[in-house]
Structure 1
Amino acid sequence: MWALENLVSVTEVKKNTTTYIDRAREGETLVVLKNNKPQAAIVGVERMERLDHLEELEEDLRLFAATLVRMAADSGVRHSLDDVISDLGIELDD
């Protein structure tokens, strides 16, 4: 999962913040531990931007998949608003 050299305690981060920021800026991902449990990560800006971009692509892929499912299930039948209103027994006043 994570290499030991990438694990750092909250206490260490507090003592040597600049060191860990420099390491992250150089491309290293650091996992911050509190009570020996992963709590956060320190990453460089480039990695953060890449992760943000991947999240956007993931959402686009989800929407694309939903579109494909709808297209595959589309019977081609369409209903006008007037027909739907009439079928529901709704009367619109002018």
Structure 2
Amino acid sequence: MVDLKDAHELTVTEATKRGVAGLVADAEQGDALVVTRHHRPVAAVVGIARLTEIEEAAADLRDLALVLARSVADKGRRTSLDEVLAAFGHTRESLAEIEDDE
């Protein structure tokens, strides 16, 4: 896996000289490029495999954050379907009696 901190840096001017085809060729080979303007990173060129890894890692982190938040907030109370239905004035039987609009 390529670490973007170790990516090859090049300026916008250098990237322009290399052209899109050159940048894409490097990305296809697994090289990560960071494009800088005034010594500040402004863009990254990575292959689709690396982009997929980044997106999957971000999704995993979102899931982990949700699990952690739920575990901290969990008071152990569970609500059954029947309790929810009762809160809205229904039972399973009353819902079964409702005719479909089809």
> TM-score, normalised to structure 1's length?
0.70
User: 1:29 is matched with which residue?
Assistant: 32
Which blocks of at least 5 consecutive residues in structure 1 are unaligned?
83-94
- Consecutive aligned runs of 4 or more in structure 1 exceeding 3 Å deviation: 75-78
Gaps of 5+ in 2: 80-85, 89-102
Quote the Cα distance in structure 1 between the aligned partners of 2:11 and 2:47. Answer: 18
Q: Cα RMSD between the aligned structures?
A: 2.3
1:2 positional shift: 3.3
Q: Counterpart of 2:15 in structure 1: which amino acid?
A: V
Structure-to-structure mapping, 1:1-94, within 5 angstroms:
1-2=5-6, 6-17=8-19, 18-71=21-74, 74=75, 76=77
- With normalisation by structure 2, the TM-score equals 0.65
SS of 1:16's equivalent in the other structure is helix
Number of equivalent positions: 78
